[in-house]
Amino acid sequence: MNFIANIYIFLFGTISPVILLLLSIFFLVLIFNSWSCERNTIANKILGKSRARVIITYLLLFFMIIFSNFDMFALFGGSDIRFMSDGRYCYNVEISRNYGDNTYTLPASIYKETNGFGKSKYYIEKVFFKNGGYLVFDEEDYIALNDYNYLVDQNGEEWTVKLSNQHANHKDVSESKPISFWGVVLALFESIALSLFTLLHLPNIKGNTKAFRKNSERLFNILSELIDNYEDKFKPSCKDDISKILIQKIEAAKEEISEWKDFDTDYIRIAHSMLANTSFEMLVSGKYHIYAGHLDPMSCAHNLMLIYNKSMDYAVKINEINLETQEAEYELLQKQISTMG
């Protein structure tokens, strides 16, 4: 437990309550902004629409909120004084007279006080001997945990005192409650707020994932069918090569494709546009040249050219472009083919 506590202190012990307050405000803004789950919300811009990214972010922030609250850790973390709320407790101290040989481990009344920046101070009120005697030190002298401190008692005698993190008991010490009720309530409130934000955001992600799968499958099926219809079956097929690039383009447009609606999306037009652009890019890439300026007749370049021309013919047919534009694009294609290879 001490090992876990030390890691906890290292990670969160210096976090200011002000930072926790700002985090709470930040999450509340995200919650209200994400309520409509629209595309342009702050949450979507920060996290995108990746389900895994939202879940990982949620878990990291959840644990940061929970564990940066000392009261929550004290609720489960045992008797580590660093996680106790401010107040009076009984802990063992190691004490010896200055220049003396004997060291005693004795219960002491310790008062803990924490400032606004999370820095704790420990004051020794009384150290109790087994014979009923006790030592009282100056109330202004605070000591460090697990370190040697030099104090003067009520009789003016000097002592070396080390406050341990070992809880003790003594009949004359009435201990404070180790955790603050409102501290736990605050941590739970922050956690619930973050959970609400996540629950509001994840359904939108889940819906977009399903929509992308449905829309992309429909688009790719149309692309595949068009390639089969446009290719010359007696020439090398380009279907495998062009399909790999088309899949990459579909994945890159995931967010846009997720928002397509059947009633206002012309899949046939989009598929022809993708085939025309992709076949153009492949023909001028140099990959299908036999030498400079000449396409390899043994490659699938012939079918790529067929797909390009028929896709452009469709664009003219639906009045997306005119014949002059088609001719200009074809001249550009031939010019770029002649310079590659």
Q: What single string gives the DSSP state of each residue in 125-152?
A: EEEE-TTS-EE-B-TT-EE-BTSEEEEE
**Residue 36: how many other CB atoms lie within 10 Å:** 11
Q: pLDDT category, 9, cuts 50, 70, 90?
A: very low
Cα distance between residue 20 and residue 26, in whole Å: 10
Collect contacts of 53-59 with beta carbons under 8 A, ≥24 apart. Answer: 54/198, 54/201, 54/202, 54/205, 55/198, 55/202, 58/194, 58/195, 58/197, 58/198
State the chain's mean pLDDT as an integer.
78
What is the predicted pLDDT for the residue at 229?
A: 95
Q: Which of 67-71, 90-94, 194-198 has the highest mean pLDDT?
A: 90-94
Q: Is the pLDDT of residue 310 over 80?
A: yes
* 318 to 82, 90, 272, 273, 292: CA distances (angstroms): 74, 86, 11, 12, 36
* Helix, strand, or coil (residue 107): strand
Least confident of 79-88, 151-160, 210-219: 79-88
CA of residue 314 relative to chain centroid, distance:
46
What is the predicted pLDDT for the residue at 302?
A: 95
Q: Is the pLDDT of residue 167 over 70?
A: yes
Residue 247 in tokens: 């899949």
- The residue-averaged pLDDT of 274-295 equals 92
CA of residue 230 relative to chain centroid, distance:
46
Contacts of 20 (CB under 8 A, 6+ apart): 65, 68, 69, 190
Cα distance between residue 96 and residue 94, in whole Å: 7
What is the predicted pLDDT for the residue at 258?
A: 86
Q: Is the pLDDT of residue 66 over 80?
A: no
Predicted TM-score (pTM) of the model is 0.47
Gap between the terminal Cα atoms of the chain = 68
Name the residue type at position 85: S
What is the predicted pLDDT for the residue at 59?
A: 60
What is the predicted pLDDT for the residue at 223?
A: 95
What is the predicted pLDDT for the residue at 10?
A: 46
Q: pLDDT category, 1, cuts 50, 70, 90?
A: very low
**pLDDT tens per residue across span 260-272:** 988 889 999 999 9
What is the predicted pLDDT for the residue at 212?
A: 86
What is the predicted pLDDT for the residue at 318?
A: 94
What is the predicted pLDDT for the residue at 86?
A: 81
**pLDDT tens per residue across span 11-48:** 444 444 455 556 656 655 555 554 444 444 444 554 45
